[in-house]
Amino acid sequence: MNSAFRTVWWEAGQVCLIDQRLLPDEAIVVRCTTVEEVAHAIRTMQIRGAPAIGCAAAYGMALAAHRAAREATDGDQQRMYDHLTAAKMILDSQRPTAVNLSWATKRVLEAARRLINPSPEAIAHTVLEEAHAILAEDLAMCHAIGRHGVTLIPPRGHVLTHCNAGGLATAGYGTALAPIRKAHEQGRPIHVYVDETRPFLQGARLTAWELQQERIPLTLITDNMAGYFMKRGEIDCVIVGADRIVANGDVANKIGTYSLAVLAHAHGIPFYVAAPSSTIDISLPNGDAIPIEERSPDEVTTCFGRRIAPEGVTAAHPAFDVTPSRLVTALITERGVIYPPFGDQLRQLVVGS
């Protein structure tokens, strides 16, 4: 599999995605024909990463709309909208923390509702077009994040990242990895310290793979090594993605992000969060209000299907944590770099979009 991969796409009436659970060993394409199959792919993390699950969910809505259109007769608009509303509820409930999911399903539903006296086919067509637009815009936003973020990469270019906020987590190119890719494209020095990111190992499996494809130098580290390398002066800045950024600038991201932000603060290292406006949720005042996904403890007590803890041991698995905005040096968005205080600027970014 080469670097010109696609994360999620629409083909012959199906939602296609690369099964990220099998990477880097196998690049198997999953083909979903029902909204339930897309929901399952999101829940089981065949597709993951906030913007990517937003794109998949938008296409899941298109599957629901096409199916409903096949069964509908003209004048059945309300039935179509009911179907879409039900599909939205199924999709939104799969992963609660990443706001991109409900943002995308809301956006396609609203596009369908704006139509005046549409036929079922027109509704289905509009939903699919909106899903295509979400995918295209996400890719464009990632490139813009790269252009803005590259200005923050220090001359030596030693960047630490967590989880996978690369092309696989988006429509392509990535968020946290976008400034890194841009720096590499520009021939600037860059070296990425990749947290392995227990328990799902997005760093070791996905980020390391993506960077290797691009021939971007990297060092894989376990999550508990970050402080060691910071103390030794090896890390110039941290760049992570986000699953939800709320009104005061608090950031939900992969579990372990908060610990990194505290470490970065203690060592005087800039801590940057890269995210598109689809990740911003100004309806919530602060991070305490963000729903945190609890995943199965089995994902902690096992690794690649093998038990690593004694039988009977209980484990906890909050999949995300919240980094308070006071620990965030700057947010890198498609519109530019935002420095604290974030509140008004975040509002402007969302309202002005």
Site for ligand MRU contains 242 (CB under 6 A): yes
Site for ligand MRU contains 241 (CB under 6 A): yes
Site for ligand MRU contains 48 (CB under 6 A): yes
Two tokens, residue 21: 């659970």
Nearer of residues 175 and 329 to ligand MRU, judged by Cβ: 175
Two tokens, residue 54: 């937003």
Query: Using CA atoms, how far apart are residues 212 and 232, in angstroms rounded to an integer?
Result: 25
8 A C-beta contact, residue 167 and residue 210: yes
Site for ligand MRU contains 333 (CB under 6 A): no
41, 98, 153, 226: which one binds ligand MRU (CB under 6 A): 98
Instruction: Identify the three-state secondary structure at position 215.
Output: coil
- Peptide bond preceding 24 in cis form (omega within 30 of 0): yes
β-sheet with 320-323: strand ranges across: 280-281, 244-246, 251-254, 320-323
Residue whose beta carbon is closest to ligand MRU: 241
175, 323, 325, 329: which one binds ligand MRU (CB under 6 A): 175
Site for ligand MRU contains 319 (CB under 6 A): yes
Minimum Å distance from CB 299 to ligand MRU? Answer: 10
Site for ligand MRU contains 205 (CB under 6 A): no
Minimum Å distance from CB 31 to ligand MRU? Answer: 21
- Residues tagged active-site: 243
- Which residues lie across from 322 on neighbouring strands? 252
Site for ligand MRU contains 170 (CB under 6 A): yes
Q: HEC string of 241-258?
A: CCCEEECCCCEEEECCHH
Kindly tell me the sign of the dihedral angle through the C-alpha atoms of 102, 105, 108, 112. negative
46, 202, 323, 329: which one binds ligand MRU (CB under 6 A): 202
Interaction site with ligand MRU (CB under 6 A): 48-51, 98, 163, 165, 169-170, 175, 202, 241-243, 253-254, 319
